[in-house]
Structures are given as C-alpha cells and as structure tokens.
A and B are shown apart, each in its own frame.
Chain A
Amino acid sequence: MFRMKKASCLIIFLIFFSAAFSRLEAAGLSVSPGGFIVNNVTPGITYNLYEKSGIKLSIFNKDDAGHTYTLSVHKPLEVGRMEKGYLEIPDSNWCWFEKDEIKIGPREVGYGNLFIKIPEGEEYYNQHWVATLAIMQKRGKGIGLGLRINVRVQIETESKDDVKGKPAGIIAFKPSTLRFEDVSPGGAQKGSVTIYNNDNKTHVYKITSLLHSLKEGKQRTYLTGSYKMIPDLKWIALDQDSLKIKPQSSCVLSLKLNIPDKPEYHGKKWEELFLVEPEEGLPGFIRVRISDKE
C-alpha cells in the first residue's frame, strides 16, 4: 500500500517530458512566390493554377535532413493579417492544394499546386478576397522548433456590371474594376461604380487613392499584369470624396479621366486603386485600369 502511494507521488512529480534527446535543429524553409494576385476568377469554374498560369509554389527545404510539409489554406485573419482593401475569403475550402502533404529531401525543392473554385453565383462576381496558404514543416515527437511560412494570395473575381442583385461582402462594388480602354490622351472619358453598403448600419465612406498613399515600391502589392501606377492622380477626378450610404443601400460614384495630350503618355498601361473606407470596419477598393491607344 505504502509502495503504491510512493509510485503515485513519483508519477505526479516526475513529468516525463519527451524523449531524452530532443533536438533543436538548425532549419530553413523558403517559399516562392511569397505573394500573388489572381485576377479575373469566374465563379463556378475550377482553376488549376499551374495549368492556367504556370505558377506553383516552390518549397525549398534548406535543411540537411528530409522533411514532410503540410500544405493548407486558411482565412487570413485566423493566422495573421491581410492586405488593406481586401476582405477575407468567405470559405477557405474554395482553395485547395493538389496534395496536402509533400516529402522534400535535404536541400531539395518540392511544389504545391493550388486549385481555386468560387461557387457559382452572381453575388460572387466583383469580389476582392485574400486567402492564406500555409506551408508547415511537420514535426516528429519531442520538443522542438517548427517552421511555417504563410503566403497570401489576393483573389479578384471577374469584374462585371451586368450582374443581378447585390455583390457579396459587407462593402461591395459593381463593377469592381473600371476599365478605360483605348484611351486617347487629350480626350476626357467618364465612368461610374455603384458602391454597396451591405452592413446593417449607415456608413460614411472616405474615398482616397490607395497606390499614391503607399511608400515608393510598395505599390507592387496591388499592381497587376504590366500595369504601372498612374503618374498623376489629378488625371482622375471623382465627383465625391466621401459618401454616406444607408444600410443595405447603394450609391453611385462617378469618375472622369483626363490624360494630358503629350507624346510620352501614348501607349501606356496604368492603374490606380481607390480605397473606400468606412469610419468603422473594413475598407474595399475600386481598381481603375487605363490602357492607352497604341
């Protein structure tokens, strides 16, 4: 009886904490690309990113030992932060990897092929979302350090102004991208975007330039394709710089584009993003694309 009590005490006070020789190994992990934008995703279509664009995640195991890595997709705010102006992807299951686990040998590279399918539905056009892709080194038993890299993917669904009903999201736009195509410098062009307040309270939205507000070089987080930031913000005039929108209502914002007629402004491709920011809550943005007559 006494022996049993003694044994219990030992069990209580001696906590066997893993194997005797747990190791803190030198380790290294790289993932490329570290961030990307997928534009023009049509709801209802399954996209194999590698097949469609040649892009896949390259995962570099920089250790002298082989490892298994898990690949998963998350809502960004569950695991960190996200780019301003985007909303979280409503369901992280809309993106997935071909394989959710891969083995990579020492100093070797493995690949993660991403698939995207946004459910069919008019409300899913005109969306700007972020999903976080997590690549994590799977650990064995014992105490140790684990490495994980999060890659954020900015998903922009097809911009359309002829869809029925309201687009999804607490703040939404129709269309989400305003295209000024075949623009001739010297001539004015007009466009408009409907902004939706899908919240249950009135908001006052401030409209400002997103790209011009960023430090030099940081615009690459938002610019797409071969577009560059418009050199002068004054070339785009908004009819309002703030909008008060009642709950479950919308308002139209008009834009006027006027590029000076100079030889150096011909044949250019420019973008600007206008941040639409409520006094409280997450902002959204309107992408303005300008392609000049060649």
Chain B
Amino acid sequence: MNKLAIIVVLTVVICFLGVSQAQALSNTGEIAVTVTLSTVSIAITAGDETWAIGPVAASTETATAAALTVTNDGNVNVDIAIVCDGSTDWTIGEVAASNVFIMKAQGGEFATTYTYIGASGDLKLDLAPAVAVDDLLLQFTAPTASTSIDSQSITVTLTASAASGS
C-alpha cells in the first residue's frame, strides 16, 4: 500500500514537472538570428598627422594641409555620413556668428567646392567595398566672437552604415 502511494505520488510529481516544463518551453519564445551583412568597416588615413589650429583670431578660416583618405575596408557597400556637432560653448552654423563656427568638407562626390557639414548627416560619401576617397579636406571658420576663453573640442564624425539592400 505504501509502495503504491509512493508510486502514485511520484507519478503525479513527474506528470506535474512534465507539464511545467512544456509550459515553460512554450513560453520561452525561441528566437532565430540571421546574419545579413558580415562586416561594416571604415578606415581613415591622415595625409598630415596634425591639424594644429591652436589659438585663432575671430572669423579666421583654416583648412587641413593635406587630404585625408577614407576607405571602405569592409565587404558591404556603405554610406559614410560626415557630421559635426558643436562644442561646449559653440554651435555649428552655415554662417559664422558670435559663438557659431563653420565646418566644411571637400572631396569625393563634392570635390569641387567646400560643402557645409551640418549635424544632420546629409553630407555623405557612398563607397563600395575596397573603395577609397583620397581627397577629403576639412575647413574650419572660427566664430566672429566668443564669450568663452576656454579651449573648445570639436569632432568631425564619420559614420559608416550599410547601404540599404547591401
């Protein structure tokens, strides 16, 4: 009798565990991941290792002395957006003003003239794998005046994204 009771209890426990596991599995949504693009990669080689602007007078224009080379060294087509945000005390603008500087780029598809780099990422280079643009120049125009005497840090960011349908 005792043996039978134990068997019944064990059977109930096993059944219960079985049901719990099935429920757990059915609630565990198994995801499937498919890699569609292998590597997005970007490299920059500076023609001139320094762009030592240092202290500059208001409204001064200064450009990189040598061209930069931007290479798509990955294996998918990429759009490279060139973006420049403001610094702590200055904003970027199309026209220099008090605390407003201009940053422009020239090269690749816009090689003939310096084009304004905004914060929107509208300025783009489209590069196929193993293709490089070797004539990228940057031009900075200082604000007409600054209310800050602190040095400012400005970054021109090159963002590589896989082109749609790469």
A39 surroundings in chain B (CB, below 8 A) = 31-34
A211 to chain B, nearest CB (A): 11
Q: Is the CB of A251 closer than 8 A to any CB of chain B?
A: no
**Residue contact B145 to A36, C-beta cutoff 8 Å:** no
**Residue contact A28 to B42, C-beta cutoff 8 Å:** yes
**Residue contact B50 to A31, C-beta cutoff 8 Å:** no
One of B1-9, B108-116, B147-155 at the interface: B147-155
A79 surroundings in chain B (CB, below 8 A) = 121, 159, 161
A4 surroundings in chain B (CB, below 8 A) = none
Q: Which residue of A lies closest to B79 (CB)?
A: A80
Q: State which of B35, B48, B150, B159 has its C-beta within 8 Å of the C-beta of A149.
A: B159
Given A32-B38, A35-B166, A224 and B155 contact (CB-CB distance below 8 Å): no
Q: How far is the CA of A14 from the CA of B149 in the complex (A)?
A: 8
Tell me the B103-161 residues at the A interface (CB within 8 Å).
121, 140, 142-143, 145-146, 149-161
Q: Is the CB of B68 closer than 8 A to any CB of chain A?
A: yes
**Residue contact B35 to A83, C-beta cutoff 8 Å:** no
A31 surroundings in chain B (CB, below 8 A) = 39-41
**Residue contact B150 to A16, C-beta cutoff 8 Å:** yes
Given A17-B151, A143-B153, A80 and B29 contact (CB-CB distance below 8 Å): no
Q: Is the CB of B10 closer than 8 A to any CB of chain A?
A: no
**Binary B-proximity of A203-219 (CB < 8 A = 1, otherwise 0):** 00000000000110010
Size class of the contact patch on chain A: 35 or more
Q: Which residue of B lies closest to A54 (CB)?
A: B33
Tell me the A138-174 residues at the B interface (CB within 8 Å).
139-152, 154, 158
Q: Which residue of B lies closest to A23 (CB)?
A: B50
**Residue contact A18 to B155, C-beta cutoff 8 Å:** no
Number of interface residues of B (CB under 8 A): 61
Q: Is the CB of A55 closer than 8 A to any CB of chain B?
A: yes
Q: How far is the CA of A209 from the CA of B40 in the complex (A)?
A: 28
A139 surroundings in chain B (CB, below 8 A) = 153, 155
A183 to chain B, nearest CB (A): 20
Q: How far is the CA of A60 from the CA of B41 in the complex (A)?
A: 9
Tell me the B47-84 residues at the A interface (CB within 8 Å).
48-58, 64, 68, 73-74, 76, 79, 81
Given A12-B145, A79-B121, A141 and B32 contact (CB-CB distance below 8 Å): no
**Residue contact B49 to A33, C-beta cutoff 8 Å:** no
Q: How far is the CA of A15 from the CA of B37 in the complex (A)?
A: 45
Tell me the A194-231 residues at the B interface (CB within 8 Å).
214-215, 218, 220-225
B162 to chain A, nearest CB (A): 5
Q: Which residue of A lies closest to B68 (CB)?
A: A24
Inter-chain pairs besides A25-B49, A35-B76, A148-B159, 11 sampled, C-beta below 8 Å: A15-B57, A17-B56, A22-B51, A26-B49, A28-B41, A30-B41, A30-B74, A32-B39, A37-B34, A150-B159, A215-B165
**A residues neighboring B (CB under 8 Å):** 11-42, 45, 47, 49, 52-53, 55, 60, 62, 79-84, 132, 134, 136, 139-152, 154, 158, 214-215, 218, 220-225
The 3 A-B pairs of least Cβ separation, nearest first, read A42-B29, A34-B37, A35-B37
17 pairs of residues in contact across A and B, judged by CB atoms under 8 Å: A25-B49, A26-B45, A30-B42, A33-B37, A39-B34, A40-B29, A40-B32, A49-B33, A139-B153, A141-B153, A143-B53, A143-B153, A144-B51, A151-B161, A154-B36, A158-B29, A224-B34
